[in-house]
Structure 1
Amino acid sequence: MDEPPQTRVVLRCDAHPTFGVGHLIRSLALAEELQARGVAVSLVGDLGGITWVEQLVRDRGIPVLPAQEDPAQVAEQVTALAAVAVVLDGYHLPSETGAALRTAGLVVLAMVDAEFGAGQEADLYVDQNLRATPRADLPPGAAALAGLDYALFRDTVLTRRRVEPVPAHDPPRLLAVFGGTDPYAAAATVVPLVLATEVPVQVTVIAAREEVRTTLAGLSPGAGQSLEVLDPVSDLAALAAESDVAVSASGSSVWELLCLGVPTGVVCVVDNQRQGYTATVGEGVVAPVGVLDELRTDDAARAAAVAELRSVLTDGDRRADLAALGQRLVDGQGRTRVADALLARLPR
């Protein structure tokens, strides 16, 4: 007897040095959950020639096809794969893509960040950000999932989620990471502020760009300070789990760090991160380091950032409070809830 065809879901997302890898990473988290339930996953998109990202996808056995530009052609691609659903994740995707896929009979899940990406027509909208609210103008029959209860994390994060406080290192270890490609070279601005605290600290920084590595190579750590510069890594959670503090762009990496239980300082690197930055700072769940443009041009902003970083590095009780609050907000079960909602909409 022939086996019934396997349910297949397609990810339509991209990664690129100019806009980063966050969309792909959270889509892969959902893919891991779907694969664990016996669902086949394919990816239609461009991985931007980023070697470690390509390896991540290969390791999960996910076939990759280059995407057509026209939404109707994308619908034809997906239909040819015998898929039943598509996950759209990317602000740059043509706004007609979701409608074309739905017209072809496919279930569409759109990942959005407030208004960014929300122009797609979809059956299910997911906004995994703190204080996100379900949009009111849904297409007929559509539903929205909003808030940190729906944050998506890969296995590598979930298996390293701290279940009890980790003894502090002396001096503390700080991980600085600004997305998988640091497209705005934030590390070159923020790491000098960490060293300017004059606090003993072991700094590990992910440097994805040559100009960033050049700037960091010219820094002189002070007494009791050390600086290690690494290329991007596929298992960032492993580094984060061994750190006492992290400093991150205010994107999806923040939710990973909170889930892990790592006290985190955040930098608003680009406009689409502003809502997340404001929400996390307002909730008191992160240390506010500042807005990147201001840190580059404003002496007062830099001084405030140095004071904030010094506080987090020297105040163990504050770090413990940040870690506990973050884990209370982010329980790590978001991908289970999103997968449940998506699979419930598939044809029986």
Structure 2
Amino acid sequence: MEAGQYGQWLGTTEEHDSKSVIDALSELASDRCKLVVVDHYGLSSTWEASLNSTVGIPILALDDLDRRHESAFVLDVTFGKTAANYEGQLTEGTRALVGPSYALLRPDFALLRSPALQGRDARLSHGTVNHVLVSMGGADETNATLWVTDALATLLENRSFKIHVLLGAAYPHRASLDTLQATLGNRLEIHSDVAEMAALLADMDLAIGAAGSSSWERCCLGLPTINLVLAENQVTVARLLASGGAAIDGGRFPTSEAPDMWAKRIIAPVLASSTLIALSGTARDLVDGRGAGRVIAEAFSGLVRTSLLVLRGVTMDDAALLFEWQCDGRTRRYALNPAPPTWSEHLKWLQRKLNDPYCSFYIAEVAGIASGTVRLDRSASPPPPTATEHEWREVSILTAPEFYGCGVGLRMIRALMALHPEEDLVARVLADNQSSQRLFAKAGFSHYAPELLFWPQQTNRGIS
């Protein structure tokens, strides 16, 4: 399928559009643009081929039509799809990034995910629903927002939850909603132009929403959801999420069903705690909020190898980011303490490290993207036989999961050596963590015990 039926959405020809992009790129310095991202049903492999033959910059195409591409990468976050959906449609060497694990969410979703899930699990264990969100997208021309809010209002007499309505700037029916709010009083709260969406979703116990791209935001934070289909391009997402147990199918809107009958048929059964717990558990496994990082790692794997890696000092503002990394199962697998910390434990630990004069703690950034952390602490491990009289410090590293395999770990260690050439260093690595054993050996460390390696400062001097 080429541009076909979607070509009229472009407002011009593919040839004219590609020429405009090529002209714009030609005005940039040769190293200013590393990737071209295209997201338009009306632009096809013809457009991609035109850019490939002229500018030679890798193209990342966002799509969900299973059609032909001549780009370096194709991104399709549709639940239930795999790379097999694009078999025979891609040129040799094209990477298909398929499935909701690649969903592009704002960074605050990954940052808030762990504390949000902990809070949600605690609330769900009590079996109460206190806050219900209605979110029907930006414009909502058919006013599904009011219909769903009316449906929820019929359940308020025997339940204590509060209704939260999320409105986009283009919502055209505000007057009707204000009338209902005058009736419901403080049982209804309206949120407009919300900047901190993740924080709002984290506080909700149930959502009723359009089955669009915001589905992935709700999944990331484990928010149990009843989906409504408001447009044809939402049908597949709603069906697959419902069949997979990650959401409830609330049907299509508009509908002839009365709001009170829909509330009894769809909403009331979901309010049972066992249902909410099951929905939350399944939804959170689909999206972890790190999809953007995975796409970055795929698209910029070459950039990671060639760009400057910078170490900056950690602050308390990095607490949520570090917590997300620390709680990842792949991080805990080879941690000296495999049990993930709680949020409160993590905050106390981080504050203690920042107050420790013997701790040097850094975030690594590649092209401005946080990609891991490296730390020096006073070592409690036995010193190597060749130890000098002065104190040794111990290296700890953590690569952000989305940057695994990109060479960030080795570059973090080398950057640390450049910052601390006077130090004698030791690293403790579990014997079965073969990848980290090889990493430190490649960085120049030598074994003096099965799980201990060292790098004397005489070796470090002069590194730049």
- Give TM-score scaled by structure 2 length: 0.53
- Using the alignment, how far apart are the partners of 2:133 and 2:286 within structure 1? 21
- Using the alignment, how far apart are the partners of 1:183 and 1:157 within structure 2? 28
- Using the alignment, how far apart are the partners of 1:187 and 1:173 within structure 2? 16
Q: Confirm whether residue 332 of structure 1 aligns to residue 332 of structure 2.
A: no
> Residues 18-29 of structure 1: matches in 2 within 5 Å?
none
Match of 2:64 among 90, 105, 113: 113
- Give 1:342 deviation, angstroms: 0.8
- Using the alignment, how far apart are the partners of 1:99 and 1:183 within structure 2? 38
Point out the more displaced range, 90-99 or 151-160: 90-99
- Using the alignment, how far apart are the partners of 2:212 and 2:260 within structure 1? 21
Matching residue of 1:200:
160
- Using the alignment, how far apart are the partners of 1:197 and 1:94 within structure 2? 48
Secondary structure of 2:246's counterpart equals: coil
Q: Bigger relative contact order, structure 1 or 2, given CA contacts below 8 A and separation 6+?
A: 1
- Using the alignment, how far apart are the partners of 2:137 and 2:45 within structure 1? 25
Q: Confirm whether residue 287 of structure 1 aligns to residue 248 of structure 2.
A: yes
Matching residue of 2:37:
87
| Counterpart code for 1:261 | G
Matching residue of 1:72:
19
Secondary structure of 2:279's counterpart equals: helix
Matching residue of 1:34:
none
Bigger share in helix: 2
Secondary structure of 2:162's counterpart equals: strand
Q: Confirm whether residue 234 of structure 1 aligns to residue 195 of structure 2.
A: yes
Query: Does the 8 Å contact 1:195/1:222 carry over to 2?
Result: no
| Counterpart code for 2:130 | P
| Counterpart code for 1:109 | L
- Give 1:256 deviation, angstroms: 1.1
Deviations 1:137-169 (A, max 9, x none): 112321211112212222111111134214269
Match of 1:128 among 77, 101, 105: 77
Matching residue of 2:147:
189
Matching residue of 2:221:
260
Shift in alpha-carbon separation, 1:87–1:322, aligned structure 2, 3 A: same
| Counterpart code for 2:265 | A
Shift in alpha-carbon separation, 1:91–1:182, aligned structure 2, 3 A: farther
Matching residue of 2:273:
316
Match of 1:248 among 209, 228, 231: 209
- Using the alignment, how far apart are the partners of 2:143 and 2:63 within structure 1? 24
- Using the alignment, how far apart are the partners of 2:280 and 2:182 within structure 1? 27
- Using the alignment, how far apart are the partners of 1:69 and 1:196 within structure 2? 54
- Give 1:283 deviation, angstroms: 0.5
Shift in alpha-carbon separation, 1:291–1:193, aligned structure 2, 3 A: same
Query: Does the 8 Å contact 1:200/1:223 carry over to 2?
Result: no
Secondary structure of 2:134's counterpart equals: strand
Q: How many residue pairs were aligned? A: 276
Deviations 1:259-278 (A, max 9, x none): 11211111111111111111
Query: Does the 8 Å contact 1:202/1:226 carry over to 2?
Result: yes
- Give 1:100 deviation, angstroms: 3.0
- Using the alignment, how far apart are the partners of 1:73 and 1:256 within structure 2? 34
| Counterpart code for 1:245 | L
Shift in alpha-carbon separation, 1:306–1:70, aligned structure 2, 3 A: farther
Query: Does the 8 Å contact 2:139/2:171 carry over to 1?
Result: no
Matching residue of 1:173:
131
- Using the alignment, how far apart are the partners of 1:245 and 1:177 within structure 2? 11
- Using the alignment, how far apart are the partners of 1:121 and 1:301 within structure 2? 48
- Using the alignment, how far apart are the partners of 1:163 and 1:129 within structure 2? 23
Matching residue of 1:151:
103
- Give 1:78 deviation, angstroms: 2.9
- Using the alignment, how far apart are the partners of 1:274 and 1:250 within structure 2? 8
- Give 1:258 deviation, angstroms: 1.0
Secondary structure of 1:297's counterpart equals: coil
- Using the alignment, how far apart are the partners of 2:70 and 2:147 within structure 1? 39
- Using the alignment, how far apart are the partners of 1:272 and 1:201 within structure 2? 32
Matching residue of 2:407:
none
Note the residue ranges of structure 1 that are not aligned, 5 or more in a row: 1-18, 20-67
Secondary structure of 1:219's counterpart equals: helix
Query: Does the 8 Å contact 2:151/2:262 carry over to 1?
Result: no
Query: Does the 8 Å contact 1:111/1:125 carry over to 2?
Result: yes
Query: Does the 8 Å contact 1:213/1:229 carry over to 2?
Result: no
Matching residue of 2:255:
297
| Counterpart code for 2:175 | T
Identical amino acids, percent of aligned pairs: 28
| Counterpart code for 1:88 | V
- Give 1:286 deviation, angstroms: 0.6
- Using the alignment, how far apart are the partners of 2:79 and 2:215 within structure 1? 11
- Give 1:298 deviation, angstroms: 2.3
Secondary structure of 2:227's counterpart equals: strand
